[in-house]
Structure 1
Amino acid sequence: MFSSIKHSWISDHHDWEDVCSVSAGVLIVLSPLAAGSAATPSVAISAGLAGITITVMVMLQLMMLRRWEELLKLACGVWVVVAPLLMQYDGTLRLLHFVLGGTVVFLSVLEFWQDRSCQLDS
């Protein structure tokens, strides 16, 4: 019985994954506020665009799952993780972006795994 529960958790798509992805996207948009004046305009724009894109891609996935939506969400998650290194900012904002971007990347990879056997419109 335990193995079937474990297998189901890994292989089946769950609503909580979408809720977490949308929440992470919204938090990424709001994250420059946590840094206050330390966040430069370029960092705020980068976080805003990535967060909005993640949120919109999740909403599109809820309507009709397509592979490119998942790929774009994954790319945005990777960007959020890499941006602090490339744009050289640190502190709370850096930590937030590592955690939130990592969450988006993890959920994207998990959803790719779960949807591997589904017929998707490319």
Structure 2
Amino acid sequence: MDSKLENLCNTLEVLAGQHSSEPDAESTIKTAAKALHFIQHIGRMKDFWEFARIFDTEEAWPKPQHSFTCREAALAWLRAQWAVPHETVLGVAGTLYNVTRMPDGEWVFIRFPTIEELESEE
């Protein structure tokens, strides 16, 4: 086990002990430790540390599958697709949207808040 992971797991173990009288909190902390061990088990610790490094930055923000100058162009492209992956992200006029198809076949654009908007809510 690498030292960063070992330090993190040791800290989680201490936290779990501090919350031993709170079964839900203790279980949550132990589950977080198991998740880290799983990430190591599947050989993705390097990816995890990179993700942790960029987590609160714009670098981690979703990247659009396609970008369009206007909503109408995005809709035309969507309507021409047989299927799009779940949680597809499109850029429209510089703004990111998650798009999803409603049961009636129409497309809904859900705007991602900017990092600045999210930070101002804290």
**Higher relative helix content:** 1
Of the two structures, which has the highest relative contact order with CA contacts closer than 8 Å and spacing of 6 or more? Answer: 1
Task: Choose between structure 1 and 2: higher strand proportion.
Answer: 2
Q: Which of the pair has more CA radius of gyration?
A: 2
